């Protein structure tokens, strides 16, 4: 378990710092990529679950088991799933262990149906009524994070809608400008079964010049649940299968406005505007220090989150 904790800590260490500065100054929160990866709904039967999720800067807790936070014999850490009108549906009481400070891992939970008071074993609960919902993450000191979501129903099944649709992030490892630039985004097929799509990404400057692209002639297979995809960005080289990795320093060299544009099967899927100032990527909206801690997007020192431009 200790070895696993160390591995996980290094894997998400880049999330420790971000638009708010040093980690020890952060209030309790969740890593945003962790939330988007963890919240799931089965398209087949509408079973809802939360998988392992990373938290930041939780207060110290002492438990009688190996988990400092535990439903019985430990600190109290729980999540409430409620309707948008405030009706509480389910409570998830977490087991959580400490990783490298300030990181914590919310591993498993006990679920309870708050309408009946009965345990909802198995880690999954039914969520089949279309509508708006919210997850509220709580400590004994109070609510510290909220995540809204929507459930929709089509002939193809049940689907989650929300921040997965709009947010993605630019990444270069360790915030080292010599490293290659990547874009990561959540994609799914809101249809029957799996679907293979061809994608094309490019970053343009304000004059419309293409600075970098995704690798040509590639495709992705999308399932019905949201999954994260990573796209390497390369220097455009016409007439070849693709150029060298596009280093972050080549983007940061010139201050100005930029847009990342993505096509799917030849059609525009979305545009993500951003800018470079003082040779640094900018923070925007909910990623900016001082934002509401209940909805703050913790990106980390080497990930910059941007929201899709509205049509």
**pLDDT mean by block of 10 residues, the chain; 311 residues:** 37 45 68 97 98 96 87 95 97 96 95 96 93 98 98 98 98 96 98 97 97 93 98 78 83 98 97 98 94 92 95 81
pLDDT tens figures, 121-154: 878 999 999 999 999 999 999 999 999 999 999 9
Same domain, 40 and 113: yes
Let me know the angle formed at the C-alpha of 220 by 135 and 105, rounded to the nearest 5 degrees. 35
Same domain, 157 and 11: yes
Q: How many C-beta atoms surround the C-beta of residue 139 within 10 A? A: 18
Final residue of a domain: which of 133, 161, 189? 161
How many domains is the chain partitioned into structurally? 2
Same domain, 157 and 188: no
DSSP structure class, residue 120: -
Q: How many C-beta atoms surround the C-beta of residue 10 within 10 A? A: 12
Taking alpha carbons only, the member of 22, 229, 2, 240 closest to residue 98 is 2
Residues whose CB falls within 8 Å of the CB of residue 205, separated by 6 or more in sequence, listed in order = 211, 254, 256, 257, 258
- Tell me the pTM: 0.90
Q: What is the CATH number of the domain that holds 280?
A: 2.60.40.10
Same domain, 9 and 151: yes
Same domain, 183 and 153: no
Q: The domain containing residue 114 runs over which residues?
A: 2-161
Task: Give the per-residue pLDDT at 241.
Answer: 55
- The answer to whether the CB of 259 falls within 8 A of the CB of 272 is yes
Whole-number Å distance between alpha carbons of 28 and 141: 11
Same domain, 47 and 157: yes
- The answer to whether the CB of 104 falls within 8 A of the CB of 54 is yes
3 state DSSP class of 55: strand
Same domain, 15 and 53: yes
Whole-number Å distance between alpha carbons of 74 and 70: 4
Same domain, 44 and 133: yes
Taking alpha carbons only, the member of 97, 128, 121, 105 closest to residue 37 is 105
Final residue of a domain: which of 135, 161, 187? 161
Whole-number Å distance between alpha carbons of 159 and 277: 38
Same domain, 109 and 170: no
Same domain, 185 and 75: no
């Amino acid at each position: 378990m200790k070895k696993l904790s160390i591995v996980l800590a290094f894997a998400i260490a880049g999330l420790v710092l971000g638009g708010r500065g040093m980690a020890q100054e952060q209030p309790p929160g969740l890593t945003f990529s962790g939330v988007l990866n963890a919240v799931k709904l089965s398209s087949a039967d509408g079973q809802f679950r939360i998988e392992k999720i990373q938290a930041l800067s939780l207060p110290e807790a002492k438990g009688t088991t190996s988990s400092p936070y535990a439903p019985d014999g430990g600190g109290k850490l729980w999540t409430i799933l409620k309707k948008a009108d405030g009706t509480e549906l389910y409570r998830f009481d977490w087991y959580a262990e400490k990783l490298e400070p300030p990181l914590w891992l919310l591993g498993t939970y006990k679920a309870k149906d708050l309408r009946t008071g009965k345990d909802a074993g198995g880690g999954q609960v039914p969520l089949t009524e279309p509508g708006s919902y919210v997850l509220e993450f709580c400590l004994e000191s109070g609510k510290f994070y909220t995540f809204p979501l929507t459930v929709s129903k089509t002939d193809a099944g049940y689907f989650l809608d929300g921040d997965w649709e709009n947010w993605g992030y630019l990444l270069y490892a360790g915030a080292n400008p010599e490293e290659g630039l990547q874009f990561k985004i959540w994609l799914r097929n809101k249809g029957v079964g799996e679907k293979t799509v061809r994608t094309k990404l490019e970053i343009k400057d304000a004059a419309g010049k293409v600075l970098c692209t995704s690798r040509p002639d590639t495709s992705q297979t999308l399932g019905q649940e949201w999954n994260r995809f990573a796209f390497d960005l390369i220097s455009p080289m016409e007439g070849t299968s693709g150029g060298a990795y596009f280093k972050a320093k080549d983007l940061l060299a010139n201050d100005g406005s930029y847009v990342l544009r993505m096509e799917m099967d030849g059609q525009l899927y979305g545009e993500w505007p951003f800018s470079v100032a003082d040779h640094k990527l900018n923070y925007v909206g909910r990623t900016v220090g001082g934002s509401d801690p209940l909805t703050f997007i913790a990106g980390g020192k080497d990930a910059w989150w941007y929201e899709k431009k509205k049509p």
